Amino acid sequence: MSDQISPMASSLAPAFDLLLDAVCMVDEQGLFVYVSAACEPILGYTPQELIGTRMIELVLPEDRERTREAGQRVMAGHTHLNFENRYLHKDGRIVHLMWSARWLPQERLRIAVARDITERKRAELIQAATYAISEAAHRTEELGGLCQQIHLAIVGLMPGHHLAVALRDDAASGGLSFPYWADGRGEVNAERRADLAAFCEEVIRQGEVRLVRRGCHPEAEAWPDGDLHCRVGVPLRTHNGVIGALVLKSYGDEAGCGEQDLALLQYICTQIATVIERQRLFGRLRHMSHHDALTGLPNRALLRDRLQQAIARARRGSSFLSVLYLDLDRFKEVNDTHGHLVGDRLLQAFAERLKSQLRTSDTVARVGGDEFVVLLESPKGLAGNRAAADKIREAFVTPLSVDGRPLPIQPSIGLADFPADGEEEGQLLSAADSAMYSAKGGRP
């Protein structure tokens, strides 16, 4: 080694070996001609393994171009201080280094001192990722958008550019849904979805991290993705239990998530699970504040918002608007004769049949005890709304049934059109209500 470097550098080599930072010398061809002892704990290679190898081959591929540019500036005589880039450790993990380098013109060598700043960068990235996830949770109400922001945060922390999030549905069935699936290696077909769902189910059931690599685990040989190299599944855990799983995937030509990344990934997933659970709670609260608890239909507050939007569309001429007001005849008799439980079930059955008759453009709301309002919107004129109203009337010719007991209850229906019967929401509702009482003809 000593005959490849200057006598001055050779004499200082024992002192260099005492430094915690790594010292290296690279010739004009980019080959290592000297490395100090500190390189081994930082990069995993002994000095003997590094001498004669190309420095750039140890640099993470994404950082190689700017590393070459920095080396050229140093060789042009510019001292380069505090340059940061990433190297690949012998075991495959990423190491963040901060360099200071200069050119030795007489020896025709670059000499550089490198400090391992991996832990500092990791702490900075964790802080940035946690902040990004928190910011996304406050900015983004839609779960897919939130997962996209989370994906960007994770990519900045570790390898694994393909991500999927599986969540247990809130319903009693507990089925899995995928609110987010970002994979650039093919379409999400039924086979791939079923395979990943089975993997996520296992992660959720066990409640533990699963790291599976092709060539190390027999189950990987059955993956439908032929070039999939590695996938890691992490449970999304809250104080209420495991609500889903996050999966990172890497393919054969990509650096995969390593063992050293798992603790960090678990920390990130804890933040993600907390955010998702909070969003779900807020979603349930929003739903409760805008929907009727008995029937699940929009309530009066949400109806007014929908009606305002419908009036705006009608004013622009993009749709024709009619309002139906419905009231169940002799509903009080049902409550008095059969009890309020039967009355509640009757209202639920009525709401379900009413919803089944509506078009996708229509809205139905429960606005009182046995009172319902339907907003009918048609792009083809009021005749389309008339036809929709007739369909609703015909749907209730057949009696409703509760617990096998037919109840011959029919609604009285009043109709009001925009703008003939009113141009404001209050006017339209009042006109439809008056028409409904006229149709009722004095029936209770």
Q: Does 284 share its domain with 139?
A: yes
| Tokens representing residue 73 in the block | 């500036």
**Same domain, residue pair 364 and 268:** no
Q: What is the pTM of this model?
A: 0.59
Domain-located, residue 384: yes
From 116, 148, 169, the end of a domain falls on 116
101 with 38, same domain: the answer is: yes
Tens of pLDDT, residue by residue, the chain (444 residues): 444 555 655 777 788 888 899 999 999 999 999 999 999 999 999 999 999 999 999 999 889 999 999 999 999 999 889 999 999 999 878 899 999 999 999 889 999 999 999 989 878 877 877 777 777 767 766 777 778 877 877 776 665 568 889 998 765 456 888 888 888 777 778 888 899 999 999 999 999 999 888 888 888 888 887 788 888 999 999 888 899 999 988 887 676 666 667 877 887 788 788 888 888 888 888 889 999 999 999 999 999 999 999 999 999 988 999 999 999 998 988 888 889 999 999 999 999 999 999 988 899 999 999 999 999 998 888 998 999 999 999 999 888 888 888 888 889 999 999 999 999 999 999 999 999 999 887 666
CATH number of the CATH domain containing 405: 3.30.70.270
165 with 275, same domain: the answer is: yes
> Measured between alpha carbons, how far is 149 from 165 in angstroms, rounded to an integer?
12
Query: Which of 116, 149, 183 is the endpoint of a domain?
Result: 116
Judge whether 230 lies within some domain.
yes
Phi first, then psi: what are they for 201, rounded to 5°? -60, -40
Residue 184 lies in a domain: yes
Assess if residue 50 is contained within a domain.
yes
Q: Which residues lie below 8 Å from residue 183, measured CB to CB, with a gap of 6+?
A: 162, 163, 164, 249
> Do 253 and 108 have their domain in common?
no
Asked whether residue 125 falls in the same domain as residue 271, the answer is yes
Nearest C-alpha neighbor of 299 from the set 375, 389, 364, 351: 364
* Dihedral (CA of 91, 92, 96, 100) sign: positive
For the domain that residue 204 is a member of, what is the CATH number? 3.30.450.40
Residue where a domain stops, chosen among 227, 253, 288: 288
- Shared domain for 134 and 96, answered yes or no, is no
Q: How many domains does the chain have?
A: 3
Specify if 295 maps to a domain. Answer: no
Q: Domain containing 229: what range?
A: 121-288
Sign of CA dihedral 332, 335, 341, 346: negative
Same domain, 253 and 330: no
Secondary structure (3-state) at 436: helix
